[in-house]
Amino acid sequence: MMQRLSRHKIAGTDIEVSPLGFGTVKFGRDQGVKYPEHFTIPDDREVLELLSLAHDLGLNLLDTAPAYGTSEERLGQLFAKDKTLRKNWVICSKVGEEFDNGESRFDFSEQHIRYSVERSLKRLNTDVIELMLVHSNGEDVNIIEQTGCLEVLSDLKKEGKIRATGMSTKTVEGGVLALKYSDIAMVTYNLNEQGEKPVLDYALENDKGILVKKAFASGHVCLSGQDPVLESLKLVFSHKAVSSAIVGTINPAHLRQNVEACLAAS
């Protein structure tokens, strides 16, 4: 039997996560996604089998968002049918980005953020969401400075609706600023793109959490004569600030391979 992934606390929090997180965009959205190959959204039986396999392999971090189509609703329906299923997962969701009729739109107002969090709680059939991040449109600094979105999430944390706050950022300045005002930054870091490394450095120096998105460059990493998954994860986990890398496969074989690579890389 394959060794299971271990867990450790996200820096600055009491939340324990596996080094691989399970991204669920493919559970609810197949439009406007940047993957090299077409995929079919899995049905409920396939989703349950994937979640069960991921749990058996030691994954406990589940990444979703309103912008992931029907992902939140589908997960919530499964949680409602099996009360023990919810207990297996630390949930990370987002605010700020909506996806309607094949297009994204953004709203970082206090009213919308509060509405979005309450809606996610209902969709996910849960009383609390462990991690809640602002889904940036790329204008990280302007969003943080002009909308007060991270302060709103901080208030919701005090109200007990979320346990940790942060931002999925796209710039170094935004990532560092997000960490000054919250617990976690989710950043791009892979073999093709390492420009946001200063955010990881800042997090390590200031006891803040880092989640990595696009660890495999959305499936576009290619290496001659080497295992791209293993080499990607070696890079990601070579930085001690990284708590978890979010991986969005819906292929059971790939999920097992990712876990094997993660065990070998860490």
Residue 39 confidence (pLDDT)? 86
Collapse the DSSP code of 227 into the 3-class scheme (helix H, G, I; strand E, B; otherwise coil) and give the result: coil
Domain 8-265 annotated CATH 3.20.20.100: yes
Q: Where are the domains of the chain?
A: 8-265
N- to C-terminal Cα distance for the chain? 19
Q: Return per-residue pLDDT of the chain as tens, 266 residues.
A: 668 999 999 999 999 999 999 999 999 988 877 766 778 999 999 999 999 999 999 999 999 999 999 999 999 999 999 989 999 999 999 999 999 888 899 999 999 999 999 999 999 999 999 999 999 999 999 999 999 999 999 999 999 999 999 999 999 999 999 999 999 999 999 999 999 999 999 999 999 999 999 999 866 666 666 888 999 999 999 999 999 999 999 999 999 999 999 999 98
Q: What is the pTM of this model?
A: 0.95
Residue 1 confidence (pLDDT)? 60
31 token code pair? 């439009």
Catalytic residue among 68, 181, 189, 202: 68
Q: Is 68 an annotated catalytic residue?
A: yes
Q: What is the largest CA-CA distance in the chain?
A: 52
Cα angle 83, 262, 92 (rounded to 5 degrees) comes to 40
Where do the H-state alpha helices sit in 82-216? 83-87, 110-123, 140-147, 149-158, 172-181, 197-206
Residue 36 confidence (pLDDT)? 66
